[in-house]
Structure 1
């Protein structure tokens, strides 16, 4: 996967994660399926990016600081 596409997908997932949190949803209650549906990203792609059910803290912090 080209680096630009990877970064775009990552940005979509992180943006939707923040959107869900801003609506008052607890981080612990956000599912991979829900995040993928809102982001327009397949679960397969999600797991290809992260390999587990959590977005790495470094990605989360980087996005929060931008």
Structure 2
């Protein structure tokens, strides 16, 4: 990211933000059913699934 920032004049934070945003889109496309993707992108988010956790570092949900 340092090289990208130096060559383009943009900040490393800009590229980190791009990486996160585009990576999330790729994960949604890979893992979510098309119907859910359409709901998310139209702003009609589905209700939170029962039994999910908000803890990003809880590995128990990753194993499902």
**TM-score normalised by the chain length of structure 2:** 0.34
**TM-score normalised by the chain length of structure 1:** 0.33
More helix by share: 1
Larger Rg: 2
